[in-house]
Structures are given as C-alpha cells and as structure tokens.
C-alpha cells in the first residue's frame, strides 16, 4: 500500500496530511536540529491521527525523497528536496512582523542615508534575524561612469584628486605636477573638464587621455586608473557579518567544517559565483544544498538578492548558512532590508525621497 501511495503522489501533489507532516518536520528540525519521530510529532502538535498513520506518511515522504533517516536514528530529517518543497509550496509569502519593521526602520534612520553605514547595518540585521552569515557587496555600476571630480592644491606641486563615480564610490589620489598650479586655476580647469567627461566610461576616458597632452592628459590618465580600480574591486569586495553565530550551529561545530566555511567566505570567488545567478535587483533566489552550482557551496543554503537604485547601480545581499535555516525569517528579512537599501540608493542617485 505504501509503495502505491508513493507512486500516486509522485505523479500528483502531496496530500494535505502529507504536506502538514512535512511542514511540521521541517519547522521542528530547523528549531531543534534533532531528527523528528512520529511520537514526538503527535505529542508536540496534538495530531488527530495514530502513530502508525504518521509513520506511514513519513515513509511515503521518505520514498519521495523529501525526508531521510540520519544514520541509525528512528526519526527523519528533511532532504534538500524537502526544504525546496517547503519553500515553494508550504511557506507562503513570509513577512517581517510590523513591530520588527518599525525597529529596523528606526535603526536605518540613525545612519541618515549614508550608503556605507547602511550596508553594515543591513548585514548586522540579516545576521541577527537568521542566526547565520549575512553577505553584502557594495553597490556598483555595471557601466561605471564619472559623476564628478575635484582638484585640491595641497602644497607646491602636489594636488589631491577626488573622484566620485556614478555608483557613489569615492576615490582619492595624488598628482605630482611638473610645476605649481594655484587653486583658482585648478578649480577653473576641473569645472571645464567635468563638463566634458561627466557620464563617460573608463574606455571613453582612456581614449580622451590619449588624444590630449600636458596637465589635462595627466588628470584624465589618473581618473582612468581610478575607474579601472573601481571595476576590479567590484568583482571581489564582499562584506560578511555573523560568522560567530553560524559557528554555533551544530553543522559547523567541527573544526574542519568551520575551516571550510571560512575558505568559502575568503576572497572574491563567492561573489563571482553568486552574482550571475541573480538576474535583477528585485529577484530573490534561494539555493538549497545540491542546487548550488559549485561543490564548495553544496553543504549550504543560500538566500540572495540584488538591491539598487537602477538596473545599472546594484549590489548583492543575502544569507549563507546550513540547509537547516529559518527560511521564513531569512527570506522575509532579505526582501525587506533589500527594499530599504534600494530606497537609500534611489535617494542618493535621484531626487526621489525614500519611502518610510
């Protein structure tokens, strides 16, 4: 009989009772980290069915690869497919509680639309909500252009160049001149050159620098070098928060596993893997265990989304942890905080006021 039920359910949907049991097992296992048995389900949730019925349904869910036996335990734990079914069919559309929304909005109001401070706060909020590692990359333009630059005379033939790109990135560099130029001349020159190169890309600046000489060529070459550095940094910079929380999880309690997690977070490889998989700034993606494209990420669950002011100025944010993670809180918080950071960037890059 059990095999027949399993075959039927592979073709159709899970029954309402099977869905309820799977949902309770996922929630219980996420909360406790311990395999879930039929007796504990009945005792804890007052299910109006016999233990034999629950065991039978758990057996069907195991045959369908939604549950598995861990070692010799009598209980079951969700598989990657079980978590996926839960996320897609049983979770609904989770939302951040109103009281939590008010608290988070108040926290962001304290940083007064500062992009760097907002990023750090976003990572802290995500780590706290999920109990796992929060990831965030700075907002970068997929087509980085010049927004504005300033030239400031420091002493004799030393000039400070301050460059602001369209993504809001600020770079500083020193120019060593062959002869001193006073501040009035520097200001006049920078105003004229700003008008000429505003909204130009790195290749545009390089080409323009090759066609001029003297002081203008020096300035343009330095701006081009700074823009090139911005593009290189955007492929590697990824800030993480909450490692100490994640290491408290039983999945990461062993030294070898913890070291593997540190290796995953190190360098820019993680960002280069995740970024192409999130197509738009409002496209939240969830990768559970074996669904991840690289072997290094397959022990983990990853929730990731873009945030940004436009389709061209975006960053990446999300959560990485064991597949046994609180998907409801994690998903809803990533969505909510992503919207707040997008509001912040729209305020910085346009005349629109953020919504509160």
Do 151 and 219 form a contact (C-beta atoms < 8 A)? yes
Do 252 and 242 form a contact (C-beta atoms < 8 A)? no
Q: How far is CA 327 from CA 20, 26, 156, 211, 308, in A?
A: 17, 10, 60, 56, 23
Cα–Cα–Cα angle for 31, 33, 35, nearest 5°? 110
Both tokens of 4, joined, read: 């027949």
In this model, does residue 280 exceed pLDDT 70? no
What is the CB-side half-sphere exposure of residue 285 using CA atoms within 13 A?
19
**For residues 283 and 345, what is the distance between their CA atoms, to the nearest angstrom?**
17
CATH code at 98-138+237-349 = 3.30.450.40
Q: What count of other Cβ atoms lies within 10 Å of the Cβ of residue 320?
A: 26
Q: Are strands 158-165 and 77-78 parallel, antiparallel or unpaired?
A: unpaired
Taking only the tens place, the pLDDT of each residue in 211-254 is: 998 999 999 999 998 887 766 565 557 888 998 888 888 888 77
Q: Are strands 170-176 and 158-165 parallel, antiparallel or unpaired?
A: antiparallel
- Fold of the 146-234 domain: Enolase-like; domain 1 (3.30.390)
Do 123 and 241 form a contact (C-beta atoms < 8 A)? yes
**For residues 65 and 80, what is the distance between their CA atoms, to the nearest angstrom?**
9
Taking only the tens place, the pLDDT of each residue in 185-202 is: 999 999 999 999 998 988
CATH 3.30.450.40 maps onto the chain at 98-138+237-349
Prediction pTM value: 0.72
Among 265, 337, 281, smallest CA distance to 142 is for: 281
**For residues 341 and 282, what is the distance between their CA atoms, to the nearest angstrom?**
11
**For residues 296 and 263, what is the distance between their CA atoms, to the nearest angstrom?**
9
String of DSSP letters for 254-314: SHHHHHHHHHHHSSSHHHHHHGGG--STT--EEEEGGGSSSGGGTTEEEEEEEEESSSSEE
**For residues 183 and 172, what is the distance between their CA atoms, to the nearest angstrom?**
17
CATH 3.30.390.60 maps onto the chain at 146-234
Q: Are strands 133-136 and 313-322 parallel, antiparallel or unpaired?
A: antiparallel
Report the number of secondary-structure helices (H) and strands (E) in the chain: 14, 11
Looking at the chain, the whole-number percentage of residues with pLDDT higher than 90 is: 52
**For residues 58 and 253, what is the distance between their CA atoms, to the nearest angstrom?**
29
**For residues 163 and 158, what is the distance between their CA atoms, to the nearest angstrom?**
16
Do 176 and 120 form a contact (C-beta atoms < 8 A)? no
Taking only the tens place, the pLDDT of each residue in 161-189 is: 999 987 677 889 999 998 999 999 999 99
3-state secondary structure of 122: helix
Which architecture does CATH list for 2-90? Orthogonal Bundle (1.10)
First vs last Cα of the chain: how many Å apart? 56
**Residue of 334 and 111 predicted with greater confidence:** 334
**Residue of 274 and 88 predicted with greater confidence:** 88
**Residue of 190 and 143 predicted with greater confidence:** 190
| pLDDT band of 1, cuts 50, 70, 90 | very low
In this model, does residue 6 exceed pLDDT 70? no
CATH 1.10.10.10 maps onto the chain at 2-90
**For residues 249 and 239, what is the distance between their CA atoms, to the nearest angstrom?**
21
In this model, does residue 158 exceed pLDDT 50? yes
């Amino acid at each position: 009989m059990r095999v027949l039920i399993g075959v039927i359910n592979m073709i159709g949907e899970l029954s309402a009772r099977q869905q309820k049991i799977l949902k309770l097992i996922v929630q219980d296992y996420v909360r406790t980290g311990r395999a879930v048995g039929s007796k504990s389900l009945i005792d804890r949730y007052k299910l109006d069915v016999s233990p034999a019925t629950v065991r039978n349904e758990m057996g069907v869910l195991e045959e369908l690869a939604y549950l598995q036996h861990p070692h010799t335990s009598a209980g079951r734990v969700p598989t990657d497919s079980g978590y996926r079914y839960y996320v897609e069919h049983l979770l609904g559309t989770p939302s951040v509680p109103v009281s939590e929304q008010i608290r988070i909005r108040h926290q962001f109001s304290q940083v007064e639309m500062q992009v760097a401070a907002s990023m750090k706060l976003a990572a802290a909020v995500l780590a706290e909500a999920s109990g796992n590692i929060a990831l965030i990359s700075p907002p970068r333009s997929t087509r980085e252009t010049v927004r504005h630059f300033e030239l400031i005379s420091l002493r004799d033939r030393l000039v400070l160049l301050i460059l602001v790109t369209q993504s809001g990135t600020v770079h500083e560099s020193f120019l060593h001149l062959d002869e001193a130029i006073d501040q009035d001349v520097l200001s006049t020159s920078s105003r004229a050159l700003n008008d000429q190169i505003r909204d130009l890309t790195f290749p545009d600046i390089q080409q323009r620098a090759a066609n001029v000489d003297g002081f203008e060529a020096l300035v343009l070459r330095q701006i081009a070098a700074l823009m090139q550095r911005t593009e290189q940094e955007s492929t590697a910079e990824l800030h993480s928060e909450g490692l100490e929380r994640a290491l408290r999880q039983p999945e990461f309690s062993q030294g070898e596993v913890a070291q593997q997690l540190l290796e995953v977070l190190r360098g820019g490889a993680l960002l280069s893997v995740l970024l192409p998989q999130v197509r738009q700034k409002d496209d939240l993606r969830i990768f559970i265990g074996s669904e991840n494209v690289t072997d290094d990420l397959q022990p983990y669950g990853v929730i990731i989304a873009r945030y940004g002011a436009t389709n061209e100025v975006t960053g990446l944010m999300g959560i990485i942890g064991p597949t046994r993670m609180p998907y409801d809180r994690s998903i809803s918080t990533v969505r909510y905080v992503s919207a707040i950071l997008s509001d912040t960037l729209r305020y910085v890059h346009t005349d629109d006021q953020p919504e509160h």
